[in-house]
């Protein structure tokens, strides 16, 4: 049987990680993998997470299964964090998932169950795993313009023109904040226009919210998601705790199904439970329980919010430093957008041959489309990156 298996396409980011690991140069810089790192190049365990885990270790009496949908207290805590009363609690069905990827996978499965003819519209570009999962499931995919390669901002006119092709029952996949891979976001006025378009077309929004708290703040980063949920008849939200709680390996995510018709919530909940059972039965609990403890304990929550804000401001400082260094060395504002983008990522607009040159000659690793992880930098490596970029003559 195994001889019938086909070689799968190489994941370019995983390949880049491997190349970086095997590079013996001391001054190499990893800007590829989408993981937050502090100034020492470490992805730290947050103080609130350590304290919650200490308390959990002392008080937890069982490792028995929770439920197919996970712990209801986790649902409540995450719904409050993401939606903060934008809709009533009884309008939301929820399922704990193995990370944000698991939430996206279950959302796509739910879409296919609910409407086998649905098309999913995805931004160009988007997180590659979105495309991989949608294609694997055999769902028709349509791209809409999003990033303007010249201005390094959102091509909003192009986006809206492409969304004119929506049909009733289609789904539009949107990034709630900190767009991956570009870092360019819609403003709230533009979000409202997108909402109006979706409602006029009878299309359903699906929001991937992977970086809440990494852009402009916890509430600011959720503002668009809350507006969509409150304004559309139905909304799917895939949220991740990997980044803002730093619990990457604990695989802590959640899928929410919001409906203005409260009568649809119970059947949505039943279908989410069914999908969990078919896929992995009971979702991981450790990370979800730690997150719940932090969100529901005032002292732990303050500790977490303070550290998250420190992380956010640190990334903004790196953005400003990089934009400033590039401006100083090049005498041009062509990279000023770096300071305007939000989140971990920016797409610099460098040609593929320049990206390769930076890797070969300088040990600077970034994805082929010139997406960089800003959190892979520190105050010492920013000048080296800026000089290397300017020295290429772009």
Catalytic residue among 30, 95, 155, 243: 243
The whole-angstrom separation of Cα 231 and Cα 192 is: 9
Q: What are phi and psi of 243, to 5 degrees?
A: -85, -55
* 208 has catalytic annotation: yes
DSSP state of 120: E
Cα–Cα dist 346/133, whole Å: 23
What does the block give as tokens for 373? 């992880």
For residue 88, what are the CA distances in angstroms to 84, 259, 260? 9, 10, 9
H-type alpha helices, the chain = 12-22, 47-59, 72-83, 99-114, 128-136, 156-163, 188-201, 218-231, 265-279, 286-296, 298-330, 337-340, 352-362, 381-391
The active-site residue out of 127, 239, 339, 369 is 127
Closest C-alpha among 293, 289, 209, 285 to residue 243: 209
243 assigned to active site: yes
Catalytic-role residue among 30, 155, 162, 208: 208
Instruction: Tell me the C-alpha distance between 347 and 330, whole Å.
Output: 18
Please identify which of the residues 103, 210, 222, 288 carries the catalytic annotation: 210
- Tell how far CA 226 is from the center of its chain: 16
- Kindly give, in sequence order, each residue whose CB lies less than 8 Å from that of residue 314, ignoring residues fewer than 6 positions away: 38, 39
210 in active site: yes
Q: Quick one: angle between helices 298-330 and 286-296, nearest 10?
A: 100
Give the catalytic positions in this structure: 127, 208, 210, 243
């Amino acid at each position: 049987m195994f001889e019938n298996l086909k070689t799968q396409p190489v994941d370019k980011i995983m390949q880049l990680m491997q190349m970086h690991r095997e590079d013996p140069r001391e001054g190499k810089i990893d800007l590829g993998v989408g993981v937050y790192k502090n100034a020492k190049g470490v992805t730290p365990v947050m103080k609130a997470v350590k304290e919650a885990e200490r308390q959990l270790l002392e008080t937890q009496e069982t490792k028995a299964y929770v439920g197919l949908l996970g712990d209801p207290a986790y649902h409540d805590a995450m719904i409050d964090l993401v939606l903060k009363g934008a809709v009533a609690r009884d309008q939301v069905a929820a399922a704990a998932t193995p990370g944000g990827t698991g939430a996206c996978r279950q959302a796509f499965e739910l879409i296919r169950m609910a409407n086998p003819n649905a098309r999913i519209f995805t931004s160009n570009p988007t997180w590659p795993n979105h495309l991989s999962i949608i294609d694997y499931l055999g769902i028709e995919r349509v791209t809409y313009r999003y990033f303007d390669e010249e201005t390094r901002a959102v091509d909003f006119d192009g986006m809206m023109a492409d969304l004119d092709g929506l049909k009733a029952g289609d789904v539009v996949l949107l990034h709630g904040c900190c767009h991956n891979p570009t870092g360019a976001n819609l403003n709230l006025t533009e979000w409202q226009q997108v909402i109006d378009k979706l409602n006029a077309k009878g299309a359903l929004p699906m929001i991937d919210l992977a970086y809440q708290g990494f852009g402009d703040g916890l509430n600011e980063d959720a503002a668009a998601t809350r507006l969509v949920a409150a304004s559309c008849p139905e909304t799917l939200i895939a949220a991740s705790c990997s980044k803002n709680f730093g619990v990457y390996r604990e695989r802590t995510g959640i899928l929410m199904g919001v409906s203005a018709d409260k009568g649809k919530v119970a059947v949505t909940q039943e279908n989410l439970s069914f999908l969990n059972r078919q896929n992995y039965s009971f979702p991981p609990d450790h990370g979800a329980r730690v997150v719940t403890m932090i969100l529901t304990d005032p002292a732990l929550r303050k500790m977490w919010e303070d550290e998250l804000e420190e992380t956010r401001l640190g990334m903004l400082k790196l953005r400003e430093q990089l934009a400033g260094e590039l401006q100083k060395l090049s005498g041009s504002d062509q990279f000023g957008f770096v300071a305007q983008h939000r989140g971990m990522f920016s797409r610099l607009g460098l040609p593929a041959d320049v990206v390769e040159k930076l890797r070969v000659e300088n040990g600077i690793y970034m994805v082929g489309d010139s997406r960089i992880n800003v959190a892979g930098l520190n105050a010492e490596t920013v000048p080296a990156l800026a000089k290397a970029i300017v020295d290429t003559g772009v």
